[in-house]
Structure 1
């Protein structure tokens, strides 16, 4: 398929999903409730951890926590992206798509772009709540832009993964179970909530290979007063490579799905 045709398919399919979201905007609000509760609750419960010797996350825990909450929201939201595919399978829409000349890659990318739009909107709301709660970020507009980029790349990685799981498992319960099993360990084996300098050594080692940690480090680093841009762009590069790889794998999952029809 030609590149212009694939782009057209991507635009049409992304529009389809965004229109579906527009008919149920409450979905955005529901996805925001838990992250905001975490932000405000954890921000108060653990605000004294900045006084622990060895904590390297700065003097304001809310500022430290906010990028972690943004990535948690991106992770959990994108891990459910495959739900759209499950619904399409149950309604027979998926089979009609696959019987048409629709680009398989466009189907995957459209879901990823839809989730990215939701991530951006939710991130802006969380940043606004954090600002109202007293957080002040030294990175300015450039730092916020990189934070958004980090969240979007993380969304791409796990939206593609969720799509692949949906195509292979073909069941909502399996998708939910696999998403939960993967999401929570990734979250806790990172510096989202606690500086890994205070964690056991094995946690720090695992975190270096954790894509969720890559996004947290890049986003938090860009929001700092004096960002280490080499580290920021290095982690963003790793996320970008993984996003491309996961997109390819998710596209390949269509062939396995069709063999099992």
Structure 2
């Protein structure tokens, strides 16, 4: 004799559908706040970048201790050999080492971006109802503070060692302004590398391979006229050479219209080319 098991099912549970009045008591009353503008969103992300420095102050090592070491080391290493005294050499050398130090720390923009991407932070940013490039632009805005701080540290050390800018305060401000504009534009190069490379070590390795030839094969340490002809050809088209010449002229109280024009053209080119590539990669990642 077999038994047939029967399954008894109860009534289906009722689905609660809240009324408009019930939702109104839960949701915030009033109109939805306006969408943030591109500028306000970028500044907000820039403030986030500065808060990261507040919580991890060790990040400022590369814009404080590193520039001081660079100034002291190269001034007293080359000053006696290339000029009558380290103080005389400093008048020529300090604008160049300021450019070198600030341009070299732009690579940390790509390193920081790659770290945030690996942690999944930027996946969250892309879901926010804000201007799409705001996270990237804001991150670079935050790094501008690092560039200014590094330039001021180098200037302070230089003044203590005997550097005297012939252009006065206005010349110094003009030189630092040109340096910050170029560094902001150059940061887009490392932002692109931060998106396409797999790890922060890869970003740093590629950055150093690019930065060392640009900064050392330039007019930072010596005049290009002392170099072989084939090397002068590269040095003359090097964007760092044009930047150093324009910053050096501004701080000395003179003007170099050609170098300044090329500096601004290089800056615009970096933003247009690598900014476009960065946003294309960012939207497709």
> Are 1:241 and 2:261 matched, yes or no?
no
Runs of 4+ in structure 1 deviating by more than 3 angstroms, as ranges, are none
Unaligned runs of 5+ in 2: 1-33
Structure 2 residue aligned with 1:21? 53
Residue number among 173, 176, 183 corresponding to 1:148 in the alignment: 176
| C-alpha contact 2:94 2:158 (8 A) present in aligned 1 | yes
Residue number among 183, 190, 194 corresponding to 1:162 in the alignment: 190
Structure 2 residue aligned with 1:112? 140
Residue number among 71, 80, 83 corresponding to 1:50 in the alignment: 83
Deviations 1:158-188 (A, max 9, x none): 3111111011113112101110110101011
Deviations 1:22-42 (A, max 9, x none): 222332234332322221121
| C-alpha contact 2:239 2:263 (8 A) present in aligned 1 | no
Q: SS at 1:99's partner residue?
A: coil
Length-normalised TM-score, structure 2: 0.80
Unaligned runs of 5+ in 1: 52-58
Structure 2 residue aligned with 1:91? 119
Structure 1 residue aligned with 2:252? 224
RMSD of aligned C-alpha atoms?
Answer: 2.1
> Closer, same or farther in 2 for the Cα pair 1:16/1:169, shift >3 Å?
same
> Closer, same or farther in 2 for the Cα pair 1:31/1:122, shift >3 Å?
closer
| C-alpha contact 1:74 1:154 (8 A) present in aligned 2 | no
> Closer, same or farther in 2 for the Cα pair 1:143/1:231, shift >3 Å?
farther
CA separation in 1, counterparts of 2:133 and 2:237?
A: 27
| C-alpha contact 1:32 1:122 (8 A) present in aligned 2 | yes
> Are 1:31 and 2:63 matched, yes or no?
yes
**How many pairs were matched up?**
248
Structure showing greater radius of gyration is 2
CA separation in 2, counterparts of 1:147 and 1:177?
A: 29
| C-alpha contact 1:82 1:175 (8 A) present in aligned 2 | yes
> Closer, same or farther in 2 for the Cα pair 1:93/1:4, shift >3 Å?
closer
Residue number among 77, 81, 86 corresponding to 2:105 in the alignment: 77
Structure 1 residue aligned with 2:211? 183
Once the two structures are TM-superposed, the CA of residue 109 in structure 1 deviates from its matched residue by 1.7
| C-alpha contact 2:243 2:260 (8 A) present in aligned 1 | no
Query: Which residues of 2 match residues 126-141 of structure 1 at below 5 A?
Result: 126-141=154-169
* Structure with more of its chain in helix, by fraction: 1
